[in-house]
Structures are given as structure tokens and as C-alpha cells.
Structure 1
């Protein structure tokens, strides 16, 4: 069985929407409206990635990366964010700077 992705953990933790930071303003507004009306929203790029993962599809002949190792800190930041910590609060809890948290949150 495949290991769960960060987005899967985030949805299981209760988030209502997932939008990549590269989303255009219209998509962001749409996502906010969906959540405000009680619905969930998953951006198309992540939806595509999840479908490929579930079905084992690949779009090109590139090497499939598996068993990626994350440091404890790389996992601490998304966990705190899933627990509704702001970047500043996560930085305080981890005894690090907000810039470090931003870097782990937005690779």
C-alpha cells in the first residue's frame, strides 16, 4: 500500500480546500466561494496528480520517484499547519524563523 501524501493527510485533518500557490486569482476566488458555500475544492493540478497516483498513470517516460525521505522538520511544518497554526505560531513552536517555516511550507 502506498504511503499517504501530505494532501491526503491534510484532507483527513479537516481542510476544505487545496489550491497550489501557482493558482490564478480567479481560481482562488472560486475555491473560497466553494468553501464558503459548504463545499470542498481540490485544484485541478492536484486532482490530476492524485488520479495519476491512484491509477498508476504516467504522462511521460521520466523515472518515477518513490520512497522520498523527509526530515522531521519537513514533516513538522505541514503537521502544524494542518493543526491550524499560522506560520508565525509554527516558527515559535519549532524555535525557528518564519522564513524557515515559509521555506518548508512553500518549496
Structure 2
């Protein structure tokens, strides 16, 4: 059973998330919080497998709460809920070690898939979020998008063929176990490949590697919506 903490300052959003997760037999919501401080306290008390956090909350933001949860309860993975227009916050959370990002207006199936993915140690980057992040990273000047994509393709090209396969599957939200089954290798081999991919791309976590994969065109991304 995947034990989940849900934190959002809007009761209707919390109720909606709880209702969606209740449709999955392998997921249980064990606690709810209306602000970041309560989220951190409840995470320490219940030690859930996954904390689903609104990226912006009063008092202690979702980004700050995520950092405290990752420091105090390292086994708890963080899945951030965001809306369009919060690209700067997404980038901050990405740097802070969040394992996944979902758009609040996304499909219910994405929420369940995201919780399962990060619980298994995978990175889950909604295609809509990925498209927004890639576009936002390039928004400072007109030629930046092409430049970033070219640079990402060069970084990915420097990987071995097997590492590129692993990156593509990692960017699609697969866990190490799922990648191992897909490639017909043992999980320890996948872990070694993932560590090598992160080091060679110069990123700190799987979600950041997924962004590079999207920039390079390794993962098909949906067009950003407004």
C-alpha cells in the first residue's frame, strides 16, 4: 500500500485529490494538511511514501516544505501540484529535489500514475509541465530555445547507446525496476546506468534529467497550453 500525504490550502483541491487517489486500490491517503508547516509535521509523524504538495501555500510554501520533508524524512518522495504560470516555482522545486510535477487541471489518471511512479523511485514529469519548463528556460531571449535544444542534444549524444535508452525511459516516468524489465537487465545495472547518466548530464536528480531528455527531443512533449 502506498501511503500518501496531501497538502493544499484549498479544501476542494484536497478533496478532489483524495477522491481520485481513493479509486486506486494500492494507494491510501493517511494525512491532509492545509499549509506547509502542517505538511512537514504530518510527514514526520506519518512518514508517507509520497507527499503530494501544492507548489504555493501560505506560511511555508510547497517548495520550502518539500525541502524540509526531503531533509527530515528522506524516504518520502515529493510530488508537486502546479498550475500554468508557475514556471519559476517549478524550476525552484526541480532544483530542490522534487521527484515529480503535475498540472492541477490534468487528467485524474496522471495523478495516480505520478504517485505510483515517484513511490517506486521514478521521476514523473507531466508532458504539459515538461513543455512549459522547456519553453520557460528559453524565454529570456529569442534564440535561446534552439540553443538549449541543440546543447541538450549534444549532451545526450555524448551518452552511450544504452544510457540514451535509459534516459528515454527515465524521462517517460519509469522506475528502475520497470526500466530493467523493459531492457531485460537486472535492476542493479539500471541503477548504475542512471547514476552515470546523471553524472554525465551534470544534473542532480531524475526529474532534471527528464527535462534534458525533453529538451533534446528524446521524449515527445505536448505543446504548452495557456
Please indicate the TM-score interval, normalised by the length of the shorter structure: 0.3 to 0.5
- Which of structures 1 and 2 has the bigger CA Rg? 2
TM norm structure 2 = 0.22
TM norm structure 1 = 0.44
Between structures 1 and 2, the one with greater strand share: 2
Structure ranking higher on relative contact order (CA contacts 8 Å, 6+ apart): 1
